[in-house]
Amino acid sequence: MSDIARAREQTAPEPLTPARAALAAAARELAATGVAPSTAGNLSVREGDLVAITGGGVQLSAMTPERCVVVDLDGEQVAGAGRPSSETQLHLAAGAATGAAAVVHSHAPFATTLAATLSGELPVVHYSMHAFGGPVRIAPYERFGTGALAESVRAALQDRSGALMANHGAVVVAPTLAEAVEKMVLLEWMCEVTWRALLLGSPRLIEGDELDAVGARSRALRYGRADA
């Protein structure tokens, strides 16, 4: 390598610099909602063949671009001084399974409570469930940070944009970080409503094709669109 090429390499910006800044801001925003306190969550965003992911062991409320790490699609670290989240395999699997650019995982209190007490899928107590593509499934328990957990969540996300993880937490996917953060907040709200309904007894459920009909109605009304 020539001296000129070496100098250019040394002064070249690290990859995904703007994405890492956006990721850090999204992490702080998520922490401010109370959905992911302390280090109880992680976020990622993909650009091309690289993924920026929040650093392991870093409080989300204190996340900075420097503490976000870049990995390739095999999980190999290519930039960043710290270590990537222990759930990197989960993020890569969720992104690959859904094609979504942004992934958010958290130990949100109500989502984690229901993931520790229910099985199969969340009961459909509110029509907002349509935002996730159908009833939110609960992935069977697997140890955190493992390939087995990644595969369990991959299956739960089939045709869905959100899932719970038994005795663990929740994961959502979306085209953008802003949408992923919003979707995690919505899932936690929906889990709280479900928890309260179950406390009162046997809630009425939305059954049959009604959830699909609600989704079609929402799309017709352009709910969630800035130009609606």
Residues with a catalytic annotation lie at: 87
How much of the chain is helix, strand and coil, in % rounded to 5?
45, 20, 35
CA-only gyration radius of the chain, Å: 19
CA distance 91 to 172: 10
CA distance 36 to 81: 23
The token duo for 220 is 């017709």
User: What is the per-residue DSSP string for 137-156?
Assistant: EEEPP--TTSHHHHHHHHHH
CA distance 180 to 67: 20
CA distance 45 to 53: 7
